[in-house]
């Protein structure tokens, strides 16, 4: 009884506040429009109210589910009570918000100067084009009704137990399937692997041809971020050094490539492949120079110092001091582009090139991870003092990690500048570094498939959800916190390397020696 | 006279005003088991940390096989042939038992990152041999079948043994053990004592250990050094230490020695 | 001394540090010689203006830096979202002032008078209460939602959570209040751009009222905090928690509540600094907390993180260096952030424990 009330109350308050927050940031309109697009319920002129009601219903059901989730089996009246309390509390908060904003907007107050999303037209839609009081009552009703429905849903699932059983059966099935020896042995067969590899290669070759240039652009960005993520993964994921200024290496790579190939401001016009080498080299050296003095700092100090370093690089590129070298805030245009039998690369060629380089980067990252060097990095991440006492030169190892990571970033920078044919200081804000860090963390630190997945989720998905553009960073921030609390190991944690017991030493080798 | 593996002369380490180790001399002869004992806070672990390079002593010199090591960084000391375990086990938790051993072998492996990328023949043979050695070592310490378990999921006793195995993987001449039997039951303790003896006798490793269990110390030590408040108060064979007045006082408080004399006399009297 | 030198481990890092240090010192010496005796670009009045500006901004840095230091002292984590806590305080103060300005309080003499100018002292006090209150609430919620579930996790985890919170709050503020810059509406007696004229070297240098007001207030708040930490029971339990959480809990201290209170106190200081920022500088937007936040962290590190007088000293010093630095080094003023970050890097390289800090023991690392 008491827990039901308490949980209902807290769930109600949380969802009430979430509702008000969504209202104030203008997400309710956007969300409703998206639901409309999804259900094919769009109209020109007056926006259909159904979409808004569907959105509210979803929110209400979530309120009810949260109020009852995790309480185990319960009586029907407990579920009803919890759902009702949650719905009432959140409904009353929503009621207040809608009534207040509606009345204020109708009275012609200056509410929009302070809260820019309180647009009269939007508010009119949120009021279902009716009076504030009537609209607010509808909101209350919806919250109460659907919260109870959500609670009932949870109750039904828990009381019958069939959902749980179904879930368990599913899991057992999966684990049984995973456990089958024959199936995993199939993948060890070289020929099978070769066929799979060829199939993937063919698919990868034809996809860019089928996609069209818009998709090639998005996937190209994803590919560049995969390379960046793999680089930062060496530093953060393997050796455990939190570097927040990774964008600095990206920037040095892009600028080196741009300045070596672009006609202005220097007009060096270097061979492109040499320029790529130059970018990688300059970024690596930057990593070395930055690493030498700071890599024996503690974790969080290192984070801040590298953050500062990233900002220093960006400000310096922009500053009057280096305008002669970097072209200042205007950036560098007409960056060199690769050619193929005399023809400049088009989007499909770029995509193929990027895919190839991603595969190479994955290969290198994988081999590094499984080597003596990679194990030393992980040891440093786990316990630096002990790693050093085990004979690892931790300082040198960390510098090596930073340099190799920076080399990846240099390569990504060169590709970025070449594909965009432009590079400017605002391409390398702190957000770039944080984006890459998010990819590594959300994907799973130290996990190669995780990073590919992370790049798709964080760079690919937002492109698909164009309406969410404004809300992307907000979701990013929330996602980082939630990930750290719920699943700190990432979406796809690094698989553990298994070593097979080596076969017994054959004894014949000894025999001839004995004879002699 | 066998040669000394460790020869520490006038080692002093201060923390602020506290003399953690005060002018201590220590000689560890080759192929022996030497112990350092003393009450809590006597400076035993500090001395260990000086030998393994975690601390640089303010004064004095530490020679390993005749060469000074006290200004070498920790990893160089390990490369020379000193490895250690820790009072509270410090394994690489996320790594499996094999990987822990492979990290332990780090100093004995030669390939660099570039060879790892191209997988040249040298890299492949070295990697294969190191894995073989790791499995042998795990077998030796009795961790057969647990090779691919992450270190943090191993039971306590197995973690202790894995830590020793990791230390052995660097093929040390001197092994420093910080309370190897802490938290073990009598049977496990006996096994550990036999194991340490075996290290000395068959693997020819010199061992320096810190231990609180007097039964263990008196049982296996060839030589015992007693520290109290950073000062060395006694040194010698187990029998000598047992009857040393200052040691008894350090452990039981002033006056305890006299008391124990009295007790002995009484015992003699009744006998 | 000689023995100490002999026992020094001569690592490549150390050699590099020595080289960098020498280069920096030589360059600094040359620049200072140049500015003092060579070129006469700046007159004494300009230097005075830099000095005043440095002290004012230094006071605000110090207030924010104390928040970093307090949290670092108890939890050993960088509260990356602290700048955002300050930003929300700035918004709260702005809305409070707007509300007071639109509240009519007509008198016989002036029928158009509003509450802000009729009762400026009360209005200002309430504005600070609003700013500090919102920031304190934010600090409390921040700890409860984003940090408490992560206590005992590896060190990177709460730091990433803090970065996430920072991004979230910044964008939430942008979405809520819009990306445009807003301007603080000060009461008439604190109007920006008015102040006393101080004659320096034949020219007048203005000491603005807002500047003096901010500086005095920040000093008062710091004194208050110092008394709180040194003299009260809460201060004592805060220090106990900072020293050893388990032991403190065994002594009957409610560790969770002390940590919450630490966040509330740092929120109060950050919020006050935020309101001051608005009153003194006028224009602000949702990025207002980011750069001061990083600068204040730099200040906290400069003074020795975990050390409250260190944070105060560090804040003041950083304010001065930032204001005098570009002129002293003969660099462009757009590079003042570069100077601040370079100082941070140099301090961390040469004296990681900060000016007043003590070397942290291994457990605290």
Spatial distance between the Cα atoms of A49 and A41, rounded to a whole number of angstroms: 10
What average pLDDT does this structure show over C170-175?
Answer: 92
Q: Is the pLDDT of residue C62 over 90?
A: yes
Residue C41: pLDDT band (50, 70, 90) is low
- Return the beta strands (E) in A334-470 as ranges: 339-340, 343-344, 422-423
Query: For B182, phi and psi rounded to 5 degrees?
Result: -60, 135
- Yes or no, beta carbons of B73 and C7 under 8 Å apart: no
| Nearest beta carbon to residue B73 from set C6, C7, C9 | C9
Residue A494: pLDDT band (50, 70, 90) is confident
* pLDDT tens per residue, range A175-200: 555 554 555 566 667 788 888 888 88
The reply to whether B53 touches chain C by the CB within 8 Å rule is no
* Domain parsing of chain A, residue ranges: 2-168, 196-486
Dihedral sign computed on CA atoms, order A186, A189, A195, A199: positive
What is the domain class of B90-171 according to CATH?
alpha beta
The answer to which of A66-75, A427-436, C196-205, C287-296 has the lowest mean pLDDT is A66-75
What average pLDDT does this structure show over A336-351?
Answer: 80
Q: What percent of chain A has pLDDT over 70?
A: 90
Note the pLDDT of residue A255: 93
Note the pLDDT of residue A249: 95
Q: Which among A252, A248, A224 is positioned nearest to A458, based on CA atoms?
A: A224
Q: Is the pLDDT of residue A160 over 70?
A: no
The answer to which of A137-151, B77-91, B233-247, C325-339 has the lowest mean pLDDT is C325-339
Q: Is the pLDDT of residue C361 over 70?
A: no
Q: Which residue, chain included where needed, has tokens 């991004």? A: C167
Residues 6+ apart with CB under 8 A from C328: C31, C32, C35
- Asked if B33 contacts B221 with a C-beta cutoff of 8 angstroms, the reply is yes
- Asked if B99 contacts B150 with a C-beta cutoff of 8 angstroms, the reply is no
- List of chain A residues whose C-beta atoms are within 8 Å of the C-beta of residue C91: none
* Domain parsing of chain B, residue ranges: 1-81+173-271, 90-171
Q: Is the pLDDT of residue A506 over 60?
A: no
Note the pLDDT of residue C151: 85
The angle formed by the CA atoms of residues C333, C334 and C339, to the nearest 5 degrees, is 75
Tokens representing residue C193 in the block: 């751009």
Tokens representing residue A287 in the block: 């990593």
Q: Is the pLDDT of residue A348 over 60?
A: yes
| Nearest beta carbon to residue B147 from set A386, A393, A499 | A499
Residue A295: pLDDT band (50, 70, 90) is confident
- Asked if C67 contacts C82 with a C-beta cutoff of 8 angstroms, the reply is yes
| Nearest beta carbon to residue C168 from set A236, A316, A481 | A481
The reply to whether A312 touches chain C by the CB within 8 Å rule is yes
Q: Which among B208, B241, B258 is positioned nearest to B64, based on CA atoms?
A: B208
- Yes or no, beta carbons of B106 and A367 under 8 Å apart: no
Q: Is the pLDDT of residue A79 over 70?
A: yes
Q: Is the pLDDT of residue B184 over 50?
A: yes
ipTM of the complex: 0.90
- Yes or no, beta carbons of C164 and A26 under 8 Å apart: no
- List of chain A residues whose C-beta atoms are within 8 Å of the C-beta of residue C164: 476-481, 483-484
The angle formed by the CA atoms of residues C27, C29 and C35, to the nearest 5 degrees, is 100
Which chain B residue lies closest to A393 (C-alpha atoms)?
B75
| Nearest beta carbon to residue A368 from set B84, B92, B113 | B113
Q: Is the pLDDT of residue A39 over 90?
A: no
- The DSSP code sequence of B58-103 is SEEEEEETTEE-TTS-HHHHHHHTEEE--SS----TTSBHHHHHHH
What is the domain class of B1-81+173-271 according to CATH?
alpha beta
The reply to whether A486 touches chain C by the CB within 8 Å rule is no
- Yes or no, beta carbons of A476 and C167 under 8 Å apart: yes
Residue B177: pLDDT band (50, 70, 90) is very high
What kind of fold does domain A196-486 have according to CATH?
ABC transporter involved in vitamin B12 uptake, BtuC (1.10.3470)
Q: What percent of chain B has pLDDT over 90?
A: 42
Spatial distance between the Cα atoms of B164 and C62, rounded to a whole number of angstroms: 50
The reply to whether C2 touches chain B by the CB within 8 Å rule is no
Same fold across B1-81+173-271 and B90-171: yes
* pLDDT tens per residue, range A219-269: 899 999 999 999 999 999 999 898 988 999 999 999 999 999 888 777 777
Note the pLDDT of residue C29: 82
Which chain C residue lies closest to A303 (C-alpha atoms)?
C159
Residues 6+ apart with CB under 8 A from A143: A15, A56, A59, A60, A63, A87, A88, A90, A91, A94
| Nearest beta carbon to residue B95 from set A378, A385, A404 | A378
- Yes or no, beta carbons of C9 and B71 under 8 Å apart: yes
C187 to chain B, minimum CA–CA distance in Å?
Answer: 54
- Yes or no, beta carbons of A382 and B92 under 8 Å apart: yes
| Nearest beta carbon to residue A312 from set C98, C169, C338 | C338
Q: What percent of chain A has pLDDT over 90?
A: 31
Which chain A residue lies closest to C99 (C-alpha atoms)?
A114
The reply to whether A401 touches chain B by the CB within 8 Å rule is no
Overall pTM surpassing 0.90 (yes/no):
no
Q: Is the pLDDT of residue B264 over 80?
A: no
- List of chain C residues whose C-beta atoms are within 8 Å of the C-beta of residue A244: 163
Which letter does DSSP use for residue A466 in this model? G
- List of chain A residues whose C-beta atoms are within 8 Å of the C-beta of residue C77: 300
Burial (CB count within 10 angstroms: exposed 0-12, middle 13-18, buried 19+), residue A500 = exposed
The reply to whether C3 touches chain B by the CB within 8 Å rule is yes
- Yes or no, beta carbons of A386 and B95 under 8 Å apart: no
The reply to whether A104 touches chain C by the CB within 8 Å rule is no
- Yes or no, beta carbons of C7 and B57 under 8 Å apart: yes
Q: Is the pLDDT of residue C253 over 80?
A: yes
Note the pLDDT of residue A184: 55
Q: Helix C209-231 to helix C233-243 angle, to the nearest 10 degrees?
A: 80
Neighbours of chain B (3+ CB pairs under 8 A): A, C
**Half-sphere exposure for C162 (CA within 13 Å, toward CB):** 27
> B174 or A166: which carries more pLDDT confidence?
B174
* pLDDT tens per residue, range C131-163: 999 999 999 999 999 899 888 887 778 888 898
Tokens representing residue B187 in the block: 């049977």
């Amino acid at each position: 009884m008491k827990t039901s009330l308490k949980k209902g109350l807290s769930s109600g308050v949380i969802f009430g506040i979430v509702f008000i927050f969504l209202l104030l940031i203008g997400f309710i309109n956007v969300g409703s429009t998206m639901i409309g697009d999804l259900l094919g319920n769009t109209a020109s002129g007056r926006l259909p109210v159904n979409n808004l009601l569907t959105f509210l219903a979803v929110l209400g059901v979530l309120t009810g589910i949260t109020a009852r989730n995790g309480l185990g089996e319960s009586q029907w009246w407990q579920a009803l009570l919890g759902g009702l309390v949650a719905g009432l509390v959140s409904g009353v908060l929503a009621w207040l918000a809608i009534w207040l904003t509606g009345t204020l907007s109708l009275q012609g107050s200056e509410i929009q100067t302070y809260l820019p999303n309180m647009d009269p037209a939007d508010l009119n839609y949120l009021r279902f084009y009716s009076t504030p009081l009537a609209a607010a009552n509808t909101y209350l009703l919806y919250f109460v009704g659907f919260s109870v429905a959500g609670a009932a849903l949870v109750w039904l699932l828990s009381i019958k137990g069939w959902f749980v059983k179904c879930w368990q059966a599913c899991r057992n099935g999966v684990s049984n399937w995973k456990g089958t020896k024959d199936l995993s042995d199939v993948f060890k067969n070289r020929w099978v692997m070769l066929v799979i590899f060829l199939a993937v290669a063919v698919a990868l070759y034809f996809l860019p041809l089928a996609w069209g240039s818009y998709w090639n652009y998005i996937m190209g960005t994803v590919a560049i971020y995969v390379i960046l993520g793999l680089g930062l993964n060496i530093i953060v994921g393997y050796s455990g050094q939190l570097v927040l200024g990774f964008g600095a290496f990206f920037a040095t790579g892009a600028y080196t490539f741009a300045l070596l190939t672009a006609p202005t401001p220097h007009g060096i016009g270097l061979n492109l492949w040499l320029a790529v080498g130059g970018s990688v080299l300059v970024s690596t050296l930057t990593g070395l120079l930055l690493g030498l003095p700071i890599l024996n700092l503690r974790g969080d100090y290192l984070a801040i110092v590298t953050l500062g370093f990233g900002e220093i690089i960006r400000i310096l590129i922009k500053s009057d001091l280096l305008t002669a070298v970097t072209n200042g805030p205007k950036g560098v245009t007409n960056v060199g582009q690769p050619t193929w039998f005399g023809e400049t690369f088009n989007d499909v060629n770029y995509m193929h090139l990027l895919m190839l380089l991603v595969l190479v980067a994955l290969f290198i990252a994988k081999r590094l991870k499984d080597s003596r060097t990679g194990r030393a990095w992980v040891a440093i991440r786990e316990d630096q003092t002990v790693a050093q006492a085990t004979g690892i030169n931790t300082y040198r190892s960390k510098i090596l990690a930073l340099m190799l990571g920076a080399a990846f970033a240099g390569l990504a920078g060169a590709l970025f500048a070449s594909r965009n044919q432009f590079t400017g200081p605002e391409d390398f804000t702190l957000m770039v570094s944080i984006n890459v860090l998010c990819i590594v963390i959300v994907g799973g630190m130290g996990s190669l498939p995780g990073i590919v997945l992370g790049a798709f989720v964080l760079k690919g998905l937002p492109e698909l959800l164009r309406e969410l553009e404004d809300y992307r960073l907000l979701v990013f921030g929330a996602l980082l916190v939630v990930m750290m609390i719920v699943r700190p190991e990432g979406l796809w944690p690094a698989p553990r390397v298994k070593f097979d017991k080596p076969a017994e030493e054959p004894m014949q080798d000894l025999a001839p020696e004995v004879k002699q | 006279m066998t040669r000394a593996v460790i020869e520490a002369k006038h080692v002093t380490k201060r923390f602020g005003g506290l003399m953690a180790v005060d002018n201590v001399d220590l000689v560890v002869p080759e192929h022996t088991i030497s112990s350092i004992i003393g009450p809590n806070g006597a400076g035993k672990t500090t001395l260990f940390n000086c030998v393994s390079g975690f601390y640089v002593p303010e004064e004095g010199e530490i020679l390993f096989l005749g060469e000074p090591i006290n200004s070498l960084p920790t990893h160089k000391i390990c490369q020379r042939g000193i490895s250690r375990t820790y009072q509270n086990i410090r394994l690489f938790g996320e790594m499996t038992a094999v990987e822990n051993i492979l990290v332990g072998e780090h100093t004995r492996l030669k390939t660099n990152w570039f060879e790892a990328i191209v997988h040249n023949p040298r890299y492949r043979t070295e990697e294969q041999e190191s894995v073989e050695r790791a499995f042998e070592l795990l077998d030796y310490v009795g961790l057969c079948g647990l090779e691919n378990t992450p270190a943090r999921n191993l039971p306590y006793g197995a973690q202790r043994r894995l830590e020793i195995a990791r230390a052995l993987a660097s093929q040390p001449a001197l092994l420093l053990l910080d309370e190897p039997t802490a938290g073990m039951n009598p049977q496990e303790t006996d096994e550990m004592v036999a194991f340490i003896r075996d290290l000395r006798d068959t693997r020819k490793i010199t061992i320096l250990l810190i231990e609180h269990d007097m039964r263990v110390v008196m049982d296996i030590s060839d030589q015992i050094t007693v520290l109290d408040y950073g000062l060395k108060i006694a040194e010698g064979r187990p029998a000598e230490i047992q009857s040393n007045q200052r040691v008894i006082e350090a452990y039981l408080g002033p006056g305890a020695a006299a008391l124990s004399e009295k007790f002995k006399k009484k015992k003699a009297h009744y006998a | 001394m000689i023995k100490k030198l002999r026992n020094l481990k001569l690592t490549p890092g150390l050699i590099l540090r020595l080289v960098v240090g020498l280069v920096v010192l030589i360059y600094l010496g040359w620049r200072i010689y140049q500015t003092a005796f060579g070129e006469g670009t700046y007159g004494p009045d300009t230097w005075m203006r830099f000095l005043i500006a440095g002290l004012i901004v230094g006071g605000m840095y110090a207030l924010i830096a104390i928040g970093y230091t307090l949290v670092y002292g108890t939890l050993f984590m960088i509260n990356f979202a602290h700048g955002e806590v300050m930003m929300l305080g700035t918004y709260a103060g702005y809305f409070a002032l707007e509300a007071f300005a639109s509240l009519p309080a007509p008198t016989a003499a002036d029928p158009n008078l509003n509450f802000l100018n009729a009762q400026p002292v009360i209005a200002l006090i309430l504005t600070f209460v609003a700013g500090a209150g919102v920031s304190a609430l934010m600090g409390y919620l921040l700890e409860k939602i984003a940090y408490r579930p992560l206590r005992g996790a590896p060190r990177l985890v709460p730091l990433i959570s803090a970065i996430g919170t920072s991004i979230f709050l910044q964008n939430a503020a942008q979405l809520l209040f819009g990306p445009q810059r807003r301007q603080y509406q000060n009461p008439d007696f604190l109007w920006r751009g008015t102040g006393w004229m101080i004659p320096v070297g034949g020219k007048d240098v203005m000491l603005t009222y807002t500047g003096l007001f901010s500086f005095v207030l920040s000093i008062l708040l710091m004194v208050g905090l110092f008394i709180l930490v040194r003299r009260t029971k809460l201060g004592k339990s805060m220090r106990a928690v900072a020293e050893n959480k388990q032991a403190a809990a065994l002594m009957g201290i409610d560790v969770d509540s002390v940590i919450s209170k630490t966040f509330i106190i740092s929120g109060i200081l950050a919020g006050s600094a935020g309101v001051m920022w608005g009153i003194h500088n006028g224009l602000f937007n949702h990025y207002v907390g980011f750069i001061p936040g990083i600068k204040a962290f730099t200040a906290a590190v400069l003074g020795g993180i975990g050390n409250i007088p260190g944070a105060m000293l560090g804040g003041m010093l950083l304010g001065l260096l930032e204001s005098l630095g570009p002129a002293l080094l003969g660099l462009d003023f757009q590079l003042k952030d570069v100077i601040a970050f370079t100082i941070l890097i140099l301090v961390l390289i040469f004296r990681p424990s900060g000016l007043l800090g003590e070397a942290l023991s291994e457990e605290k690392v």
